[in-house]
């Protein structure tokens, strides 16, 4: 075993995380679910979603059989909603193509919807004892700092170098402990901001610490100004209910329910009629800004006293009460707008 692996494993036995809800299991469904939820998301945020998800859909077969709207509702607020759509598609693929059992070969796992190389390797390591490296964000940070790897890890040349390094460092024994130790060290000690280098088991061999470059590695993605977008959303209210409509499967908030949008203020009457209602009093509410990874969105809500026209509403439209919106598959900023709107409804 290399000195790198030995230091990590020794540290993990005493300081690593051992009681997360997805640990101490070889069930591919639970490991896979946690890996997908943890992408771009902190552990503390994931835990309640993970537990709630499993309480409702305890097996892969349950997930595959569930309506996609239910899956999106369970995911609502966790963000990066393509993960939820891919999760549902993957469960169905495993049921249809693999008889309900995850394939054991990492290459076959990686062919499933929404599963990349690192996630496939993690499932294969923790569930099937495979000898594979992983390369999530935490591992990339540990390797870049310890071995002084320059360049943004998202570029192909740097990522190739990190995969080579991660593979070269794999120990022959205690692989599961080693892989978990890498992730835990990056998540709890070798963090992006305020790393606790004095407590790190790799401090004596870390090139970034030696060269006083901890803050500089890994190199950040080159910054660019976020594009600005804005849209007007309609809060049509009637008898204590608000109109929501299902969004297309592709695009922003794909598959979720949201507020109808308006292209221009001059088309308000036509748009409301298209939604199967007639408009009464209109009131502008304060705008809400929501920042995505690639752009900043300003939502400008118009609250409208509406009167539904019988027989005109289209498929995919739902008039919901405040209580009903709590279990609906809503994006987080839309849920926030609804909470404010319902509190203002007479």
| Active site (catalytic) residues | 35
306 beta partners: 279
Closest by Cα among 232, 231, 215, 208 to 283:
232
Separation of alpha carbons 332 and 78, rounded Å: 8
User: Tokens 């007479």 label which residue?
Assistant: 346
d(CA 326, CA 204): 51
């Amino acid at each position: 075993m290399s000195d790198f692996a030995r230091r990590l494993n020794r540290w993990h036995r005493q300081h690593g995380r051992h009681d997360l809800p997805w640990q101490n299991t070889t069930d591919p469904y639970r490991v896979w679910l946690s890996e997908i939820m943890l992408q771009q998301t902190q552990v503390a945020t994931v835990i309640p979603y993970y537990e709630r998800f499993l309480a409702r859909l305890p097996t892969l077969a349950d997930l595959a059989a569930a309506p996609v709207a239910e899956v999106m509702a369970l995911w609502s607020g966790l963000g990066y909603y393509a993960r939820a759509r891919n999760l549902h598609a993957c469960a169905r693929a495993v049921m249809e193509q693999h008889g309900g059992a995850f394939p054991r070969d990492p290459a076959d796992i990686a062919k499933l919807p929404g599963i990349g190389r690192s996630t496939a390797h993690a499932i294969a390591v923790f569930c099937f004892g495979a000898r594979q490296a992983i390369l999530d964000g935490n591992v990339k940070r540990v390797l870049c700092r310890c071995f002084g790897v320059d360049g943004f890890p998202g570029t192909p040349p740097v990522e190739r170098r990190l995969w080579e390094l991660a593979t070269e460092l794999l120990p022959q024994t205690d692989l599961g402990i080693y892989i978990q130790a890498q992730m835990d060290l990056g998540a709890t000690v070798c963090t992006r901001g305020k790393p606790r280098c004095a407590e790190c088991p790799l401090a004596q061999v870390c090139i970034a610490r030696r060269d006083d470059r901890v803050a500089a590695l890994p190199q950040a993605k080159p910054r660019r100004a976020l594009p600005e977008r804005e849209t007007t959303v309609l809060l049509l209210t009637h008898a204590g209910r608000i109109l929501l409509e299902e969004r297309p499967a592709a695009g922003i908030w794909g598959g979720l329910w949201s507020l109808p949008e308006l292209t221009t203020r001059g088309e308000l009457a036509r748009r409301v009629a298209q939604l199967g209602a007639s408009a009464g009093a209109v009131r502008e509410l304060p705008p809400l800004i929501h920042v995505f990874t690639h752009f900043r969105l300003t939502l400008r809500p118009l609250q409208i006293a509406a009167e539904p026209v019988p027989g005109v509403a289209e498929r995919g439209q739902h008039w919901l009460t405040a209580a009903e919106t709590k279990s609906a598959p809503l994006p987080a900023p839309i849920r926030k707008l609804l909470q404010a709107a319902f509190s203002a409804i007479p």
